[in-house]
Amino acid sequence: MPTEDWTPHRRDDGELLGWIHADGEHWVAVDVLGRRASDATDWLQAEAALEDRGLAWLAEPWMLEGEGERPVRVRILEVTPHDREVPGRIVVKVDDFGDVSRPAAQPLTLPWPIPDRLRPPRDDDPDAHTLTR
């Protein structure tokens, strides 16, 4: 994934939003993280699903599980889908909240498509603004 039968869908500025591929007689949209962005539908609705999703959500905080006792708040730095024989990757870093005085966080490289342990924040996640002992 993506394969030769996946058609890239790009914004007007050329930025990749995802792909559309056949699902029987219908089409399915897949976002840049490799997640399904639409149900099986017609081509125009699959395009609309990718357009509506956009890319702004990539800049939001994400939670990474399995790096410690609690989920860690991270930011996505890079998304590189599979390209022929080159495996894709998702690079994240621990969220520094824009503090340029802190040392740069070591990037973590995850496989593409998005692994289950990288996910959007939930209401029950640790509060990023509360210090605990």
- The Cβ of residue 91 has, within 10 Å, a number of other Cβ atoms equal to 16
Q: Are 72 and 94 in contact (CB under 8 A)?
A: yes
At 129, the pLDDT band (50, 70, 90 cuts) reads: low
Comparing CA positions, the residue from 39, 116, 118, 36 lying closest to residue 74 is: 118
Q: In a 3-state reduction of DSSP, which class is residue 59?
A: helix
Same domain, 78 and 103: yes
Domains of the chain: total: 2
Does residue 39 belong to any structural domain of this protein? yes
Determine contact, residues 87/112, Cβ cutoff 8 Å: yes
This model's pTM is above 0.95: no
Q: What is the pLDDT of residues 18-76, one digit of tens each?
A: 999 999 999 999 999 999 999 999 999 999 999 999 999 999 999 999 988 889 999 99
SS3 78: strand
Please give the pLDDT value at position 133: 44
Question: What percent of the chain stands above pLDDT 90?
Answer: 71
Q: Is residue 124 part of a domain?
A: no
**Which structural domain range is residue 18 located in?**
7-55
Report the alpha-carbon distance of residue 47 to residue 64 in Å, rounded: 29
Helix (H/G/I), strand (E/B), else coil: 114: coil
